[in-house]
Amino acid sequence: MRRLYISIIRIAVIMMALTSCVQARFIIGIELNKGKQYFENAHYDSAETVFNSILEHDSSHTLSWHYLGRIQFEKGELDSSIVLLERAADENPESPGFCYWLGMAYAQKALTSGLFKKASFAGKMKKVWKKAVELDPGNAMAHLNLALFYLEAPGIAGGDSDKAIAQADTILMYYPDNFEAKCVYCRAYEKKKEYEKAEECYLQRYEEGPTEDIALRYLGMFYIDRERYDDAERIFKEYVEVYPNFTDSHYCLGVAYHKQERYKEAKAEYERALELWPHYEDAKDGLKDVNKKLK
| pLDDT band with cut points at 50, 70 and 90 for residue 284 | very high
**Who wins on pLDDT, 57 or 245?**
245
pLDDT in tens, 18-60: 344 444 454 556 778 888 998 899 899 999 998 898 888 888 8
Q: Is the pLDDT of residue 15 over 80?
A: no
End-to-end CA distance of the chain: 97
C-alpha 116/C-alpha 110 separation (Å) is 10
pLDDT of residue 295: 83
Q: What is the pLDDT of residue 23?
A: 41
Please state the rounded mean pLDDT for residues 86-115. Answer: 87
pLDDT at position 29, please? 62
Q: Which long-range contacts (CB under 8 A, 24 or more apart) does 178-182 make?
A: 178/140, 178/144, 179/205, 179/208, 179/209, 179/212, 179/214, 179/215, 180/144, 180/214, 181/140, 181/143, 181/144, 181/147, 182/208
What CA–CA distance (Å, rounded) separates 169 from 160? 15
What is the rounded average pLDDT of the residues 267-272?
A: 98
All structural domains of the chain:
8-110 (1.25.40.10), 209-295 (1.25.40.10)
Q: Which pTM was predicted?
A: 0.71
Average pLDDT over residues 115-139: 85
Of 49, 188, 18, 58, which is closest to residue 67 (Cα–Cα)?
Answer: 49
